[in-house]
């Protein structure tokens, strides 16, 4: 089944079970993200972008690529002095995290070829072993790189804020929803196995892109 067809099934599923999501589906239509195989680049870019605005992240990413004249291979990052990476605007920790990822890819301790056969939880356990990569980063990776449609990004601040606004009238929330409440929303409104789409529509309701980890 083509990915666009899977998305349409997900839209129909959410619309059939959740009136709030039904309205968002009608407004925002087919989700725009598509899976791709640039896993290494996606993770490097995720590390660079952590805790930054979209504009600031794009600027630093541009400088980072300019250092090499192209998106660097792991071996090129390992051969690059950390101070040179910092000159592109990377913090010392982020430069160290990127080199740690490059080292793990180079020595085979991280194998992107094996990820497609893993469960979401296995991928989380595998990738969070890398310095600087937490659960939020892996959730974004699962959704936007791998196209996994069953990811509930409970740690994303944008998702939390959006769901609080969208469901306060029905559930009388008095604070920004937490992990347990988001899971309950998902269970009650039968989002599974399309939690990623529910998150995407939540982001769209804020006219937002994925937020920082909460």
Active site residues: 156
DSSP string, 158-191: HHHHHHHHHHHHHH--SS---HHHHHHHHHHTT-
Structure tokens at 46: 């995720």
Could you tell me which residues come within 8 angstroms of residue 133 by beta carbon, excluding any fewer than 6 positions away? 43, 46, 47, 97, 101, 127
DSSP 49: H
Structure tokens at 95: 């430069």
Could you tell me which residues come within 8 angstroms of residue 148 by beta carbon, excluding any fewer than 6 positions away? 120, 142, 196
Q: How far apart are CA 54 and CA 74, in angstroms?
A: 24
């Amino acid at each position: 089944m083509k990915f666009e067809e899977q998305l349409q099934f997900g839209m129909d599923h959410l619309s059939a079970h959740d009136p709030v999501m039904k309205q968002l589906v009608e407004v925002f239509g087919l989700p725009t993200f598509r899976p791709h195989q640039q896993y290494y680049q996606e993770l490097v870019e995720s590390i660079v972008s952590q805790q930054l605005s979209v504009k600031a992240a794009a600027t630093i990413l541009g400088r980072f690529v300019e250092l090499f004249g192209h998106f660097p291979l792991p071996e090129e990052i390992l051969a690059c002095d950390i101070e040179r990476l910092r000159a592109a605007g990377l913090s010392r920790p982020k430069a160290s995290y990127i080199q740690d990822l490059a080292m793990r890819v180079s020595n085979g301790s991280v194998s992107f070829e094996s990820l497609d056969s893993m469960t979401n939880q296995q991928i989380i356990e595998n990738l969070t072993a890398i310095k600087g990569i937490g659960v939020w980063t892996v959730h974004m990776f699962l959704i936007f790189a791998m196209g996994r449609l069953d990811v509930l990004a409970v740690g994303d601040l944008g998702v939390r804020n959006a769901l609080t606004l969208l469901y306060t009238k029905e559930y009388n929330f008095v604070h920004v929803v937490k992990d347990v409440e988001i899971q309950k929303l998902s269970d009650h409104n039968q989002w599974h196995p399309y939690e990623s789409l529910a998150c995407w529509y939540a982001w769209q309701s804020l006219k937002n892109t994925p937020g920082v980890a909460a």
